[in-house]
Amino acid sequence: MIDKQYDIVIIGAGIHGVGVAQAAAAQGYSVLVLEQSAIAAGTSSKSSKLIHGGLRYLETAQFSLVKECLRERALLLNLAPELVKLVPFYIPIYKHTRRGPWKIRAGLMLYQFLANNSPSSRFQVLDKSEWPALDGLQQKDLLSVFRYHDAQTDDVLLSKAVMSSAETLGAQLCVPARFTQGTIHKTHCDVHFEYENTSVQCVAKVIVNAAGPWVSEVQKKISPQRFNLNIELVQGTHVLIEGQLNQGIYYLEAPHDQRAVFVMPWHQKILIGTTENVYYGNPAEVKPLADEIEYLLQTYHRYFPQTQKPDAISAFAGLRVLPMSEGSPFKRKREVQLLLDNEDKPKLLSIVGGKLTAYRATAERVMHRLKPSLPPSLARGDTHLLPLNDPT
Ligand SMILES: Cc1cc2nc3c(=O)[nH]c(=O)nc-3n(C[C@H](O)[C@H](O)[C@H](O)COP(=O)(O)OP(=O)(O)OC[C@H]3O[C@@H](n4cnc5c(N)ncnc54)[C@H](O)[C@@H]3O)c2cc1C
């Protein structure tokens, strides 16, 4: 049953949309989430499924992002133990590796420091006698192997668990419901959407545009237009192959361009990702490219050579939303941006970019920015404390 009036209408049920729904409902607000296809149907089902600080972001000095993500990782390990699990990560260093042992050691020391030196953040250098147990990892020219820990999740289940927590607190989800038009007035916003082949209208105090790669498209449907989003979509592909990894996740350097590539256990198979290619098309039509699949399979085979070069069983591509810039996507800032139509009393807030890992912190920040436009409320919970259960 759709009501006529809400405090907040959220467009998109990816991790950011459901995260804001949970935070808003916990603060006692009435919330409606509109999702055009299914929970996590967009980027939130196509991530690398890591709940991590992002070791590689230290190279681009994104220290506050890494610190926040490590803090959120620690919290999610407690709140969602069925869904977020610590996994050993291995970084092999070869004669040809661009990031030498001193650099990796320095990076891991900083990572450990940013994780408040928690026991799970300590790293080791493996003894040579342990190398043969590393799932067939190439031993030729191997100089050293580092082991540290980060966490893995199921991005779809995590998104569903957060939405389920939001619904328990009173949030409503409408799916499949496609937002079609919004108008911002002085005191409220009109929201139009299509649901069950019918045009529906409701009123909200504020609108949150959490449409991920569709963020610009949704923005254009809201009047008056106050600003343009200067963003770029960057495609990242993963491939799934037959095989099994018993030790954990391998953090490798792609031979052609030295980018980081993860080789991960995934449902008794192996997931390899990811790539980064600027994408200009319709977000709904993004597909893995033959070159990307080849790049990932070649990287895997270079480091796990005793089997034949594998074939991909399947592949999927997701879209990162990054600020427009000349530089390589790999080096661009990954911090989330919150764009408001009005800094003092926003009626529209758009979430641009961000990390699966930091969704809860992002949602808290969204609520903080929206507070001046919302009435006083009675809190029903605190997202620092709300457990997240496996929805299956
Ligand atoms: C390849 C790749 C790997 C990544 N790996 C990681 C990782 O390992 N760890 C990590 O922390 N982060 C990772 N990220 C980042 C993370 O996945 C994203 O930041 C996050 O999933 C974005 O979520 P979102 O809710 O903003 O967008 P989305 O998940 O795309 O959700 C947007 C939703 O809006 C809906 N929508 C759009 N238009 C409308 C409309 N008109 N009406 C109704 N609904 C609409 C869509 O259907 C969609 O479900 C990765 C990103 C990529 C691309």
Best CA proximity match to 173, nearest among 340, 376, 6, 377: 6
251, 356, 366: residue to mutate for ligand 1 pocket, most atoms within 8 A of CB: 356
Is any atom of ligand 1 closer than 6 Å to the C-beta of 332? no
pLDDT of residue 146: 98
pLDDT of residue 256: 84
Distance CA 316, CA 45 (A): 9
Tokens 């969602």 belong to which residue?
80
| Domains of the chain listed by start with CATH number | 5-44+156-229+334-373 (3.50.50.60), 78-152 (no CATH), 231-323 (3.30.9.10)
Contact at 8 Å (CB) between 157 and 392? yes
Distance CA 352, CA 95 (A): 39
Ligand 1: which residue has its CA nearest to atom 52? 47
Report which residue type is found at 311. D
Atom of ligand 1 nearest to the CA of 15: 25
Best CA proximity match to 264, nearest among 90, 62, 7: 90
pLDDT in tens, the chain (392 residues): 778 999 999 999 999 999 999 999 999 999 999 999 999 999 999 999 999 998 988 888 889 999 999 999 999 999 999 999 999 999 999 999 988 899 999 999 999 999 999 888 899 999 999 999 999 999 999 999 999 999 999 999 999 999 999 999 999 999 999 999 999 999 999 999 999 889 999 999 999 999 999 999 999 999 998 777 889 999 999 999 999 999 999 999 998 888 999 999 999 999 999 999 999 999 999 999 999 999 999 999 999 997 678 999 999 999 999 877 666 665 666 689 999 998 899 999 999 999 999 999 999 999 999 999 999 999 999 999 999 999 99
Best CA proximity match to 258, nearest among 99, 106, 56: 99
Residues listed for the chain: 392
Q: Phi then psi for 338, rounded to 5 degrees? A: -110, 115
pLDDT of residue 228: 76
Global pTM reads: 0.96
Is any atom of ligand 1 closer than 6 Å to the C-beta of 68? no
pLDDT of residue 326: 65
Is any atom of ligand 1 closer than 6 Å to the C-beta of 218? yes
**ω into 274 cis (within 30 of 0):** yes
48, 195, 196, 362: residue to mutate for ligand 1 pocket, most atoms within 8 A of CB: 48
Is any atom of ligand 1 closer than 6 Å to the C-beta of 156? no
Distance CA 220, CA 227 (A): 10
Atom of ligand 1 nearest to the CA of 19: 25
